[in-house]
C-alpha cells in the first residue's frame, strides 16, 4: 500500500532498523506475540522512546492494542506503549468466525470506507485528547469507535491494508512532517 502511494518503507526487525525512520506501522496479528517479539528483539524500549517523542504511528488491529493505554482481556505480561488514551477490548466483536466487513463513514472522507474486521479490538473508552474518526454498529454494540487519532497516532480496529482503498494510509501519511 505504501509503495503504491510513492512512499519507501523498510521492515523493522532490530533496534538498528529504527534509525532514520520517519514513522512506523504496527500491523495486525496476535498482539501478545508481537509484544513478546518487540521485547525479545530489544526494539520495545527504543521504539517506546521514539513514540513518546512524537514519532507518527499507525496501529491496525493488534497495533491498536499495543498503543492503547488500557487493554481488557489481555495477558498480564503483555506490554503496551500506552501512547493513545483509549481502552480497548481484545476480540471485542468475536472470534475469527465472527469476522466481518462494514462501510464506515470516516471523518474527512467524502465516501465511505469498506473496512475488514478480523478478531478486531473495540474501543470501550476514549480520553479527551482522542478524536474519533469512525464508529461501527454491530448486532451487540452501537457506535463503537474503530478509527481514532491523537496527535501523530492513528489507530484502527480494522485492517485498511486488506482493501485496495488507500485513504486510511493517506490520512496516516499526512501526519508525517
Give catalytic status of residue 159 as yes or no: yes
From the list 82, 111, 148, 159, the catalytic residue is 159
Average pLDDT, the chain: 92
- Domain range spanning residue 19? 3-173
User: What's residue 74's pLDDT?
Assistant: 72
Min mean pLDDT across 31-40, 91-100, 143-152 is at 91-100
Q: What is the pLDDT of residue 142?
A: 61
Count of domains forming the chain: 1
Grid coordinates 471485542 are at which residue?
92
Instruction: Please compute the mean of the pLDDT values over residues 121-132 and round it to a whole number.
Output: 95
Catalytic-residue membership of 61? yes
pLDDT at 132 over 90: yes
Q: What number is the average pLDDT over the span 87-99? A: 86
Please state the rounded mean pLDDT for residues 73-91: 88
> Which residues have a Cβ under 8 Å from the Cβ of 167 and sit 6 or more positions away?
106, 109, 113
Rounded mean pLDDT, 35-62: 95
pTM over 0.75: yes
Residue 141 is predicted with a pLDDT of 44
The CATH code of the domain that includes 143 is: 3.40.50.880
The cell numbers describing 129, all together, are: 485528547
Neighbours of 172 (CB within 10 A): 27
129-to-42, 62, 84, 153, 172 alpha-carbon distances in Å: 30, 21, 8, 11, 17
Report whether pLDDT(138) > 70.
Answer: no
Q: Which of 82, 111, 131, 161 is catalytic?
A: 161
Amino acid at each position: 500500500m505504501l509503495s503504491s502511494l510513492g512512499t519507501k518503507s523498510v521492515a523493522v526487525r532490530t533496534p538498528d532498523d529504527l534509525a532514520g525512520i520517519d514513522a512506523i506501522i504496527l500491523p495486525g496479528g496476535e498482539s501478545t506475540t508481537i509484544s513478546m517479539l518487540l521485547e525479545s528483539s530489544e526494539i520495545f524500549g527504543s521504539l517506546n522512546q521514539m513514540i513518546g517523542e512524537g514519532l507518527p504511528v499507525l496501529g491496525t488491529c493488534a497495533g491498536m492494542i499495543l498503543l492503547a493505554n488500557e487493554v481488557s482481556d489481555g495477558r498480564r505480561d503483555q506490554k503496551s506503549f500506552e501512547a493513545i488514551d483509549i481502552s480497548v477490548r481484545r476480540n471485542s466483536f468475536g472470534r475469527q468466525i465472527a469476522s466481518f466487513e462494514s462501510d464506515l463513514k470516516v471523518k474527512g472522507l467524502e465516501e465511505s470506507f469498506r473496512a475488514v474486521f478480523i478478531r478486531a479490538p473495540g474501543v470501550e473508552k476514549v480520553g479527551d485528547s482522542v478524536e474519533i474518526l469512525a464508529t461501527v454498529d454491530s448486532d451487540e454494540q452501537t457506535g463503537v469507535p474503530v478509527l481514532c487519532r491523537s496527535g501523530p497516532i492513528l489507530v484502527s480496529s480494522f485492517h485498511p491494508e486488506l482493501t485496495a482503498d488507500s485513504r486510511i494510509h493517506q490520512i496516516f501519511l499526512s501526519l508525517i512532517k
